[in-house]
Amino acid sequence: MKNIKIVQTSIGTQEYMEFANLAKHLGLNIKDALKNAIELWMREKTPPESDPLFNLKPVDYGDTNVSEKVDEILYGLKRG
């Protein structure tokens, strides 16, 4: 069994009704809609430098024209 945490909070009736209606419109129950909202909020608030993509090191192919060769392969461009 997964290690899970249960989260509770209080919101106003109007806010709850709007959230519940939107979740229903999207075919979600309240629980799944809240999980989606939490995941989205976390992605939006996570600093980009913690994304592994921003920690990649450049690769040196030992060829000063490699970017031009990539363009030629991808786009059929030949610089002359």
- Contact of 50 with 40, CB cutoff 8 Å: no
Q: How many domains does the chain have?
A: 1
CB crowding 37-68: b at 16 or more within 10 Å, else e? eeeeeeeeeeeeeeeeeeeeeeeeeeeeeeee
2 is a domain residue = no
Over range 65-75, report the average pLDDT: 87
Angle at Cα 56 formed by Cα 74 and Cα 41, nearest 5°? 100
Locate tokens 């993509």: which residue?
Answer: 53
Q: What is the pLDDT of residues 18-28, one digit of tens each?
A: 999 999 999 99
Task: Evaluate whether residue 3 is within a structural domain.
Answer: no
| Cα 80 → chain centroid | 40
Q: Report the share of the chain in percent with pLDDT over 70.
A: 95
pTM score, two decimals?
A: 0.57
Note down the domain range covering 71. Answer: 13-75
Residue 30 lies in a domain: yes
Banded model confidence at residue 62, pLDDT cuts 50, 70, 90: confident
Note the pLDDT tens digit of each residue in 44-55. Answer: 998 877 778 888
Q: Is residue 44 part of a domain?
A: yes
